[in-house]
Amino acid sequence: MFIKLKKGFIILKPNALSKDIFFSNAKIEKGSFAELISNDIYNALFSHTVDVFEEYDKYYKEEYDSINTFLNKRYRLNERDITEIMSSIENYKILYNSSEDNFIDMIFSEFMIDKIYKLMEV
């Protein structure tokens, strides 16, 4: 699941997903140009991310009365998205990526989101 925000995005990354699984799902040949592109996509999605629950526990637990309030106030998430996130926390890491570049806009195209979901299957 992706939630595009005004700045960056929230992504639910399956706990079992590794870079090897991501590449295996892409069915690409080692050393190929496709491997380079897949590596760039993986890094754009998961590098420089913040674990939302760790962030809450470490910095905001005393400021907000609940994780739900934190998600609503800090990330401007609506109740539907918060409910979906909370129902996923056992199997997914909830990550925030603050990237604002054009590569991220390309990733959020309808075509690419379907492809990325397939790469994230575990």
How much is the pTM? 0.77
Check the CA dihedral 98-102-103-104 and report its sign: positive
Residue 23 has pLDDT above 90, yes or no: no
Per-residue tokens: 30: 């080692």
* CA distance between the termini of the chain: 14
Mean pLDDT of the chain: 86
Higher-confidence residue of 26 and 56: namely: 56
* Residue 104 pLDDT: 61
Per-residue tokens: 93: 């890491």
Q: Give per-residue pLDDT as tens, 67-120.
A: 999 999 999 999 999 999 999 889 999 999 887 665 566 666 676 777 777 777
Q: Give per-residue pLDDT as tens, 32-53.
A: 888 888 888 888 888 889 999 9
User: Which residue segment(s) compose the domain that 97 sits in?
Assistant: 2-119
**Number of compact structural domains in the chain:** 1
* Residue 108 pLDDT: 63
* Residue 121 pLDDT: 80
* Contact predicate 41/27, CB 8 Å: no
DSSP 15-79: TT--HHHHHHHHT--TTSHHHHHHHHHHHHHHTTEEEHHHHIIIIITTTSSSHHHHHHHHH---H
* Residue 39 pLDDT: 85
* Contact predicate 29/21, CB 8 Å: no
Query: Can you tell me the distance from the alpha carbon of 35 to that of 45, in angstroms, rounded to the nearest whole number?
Result: 15
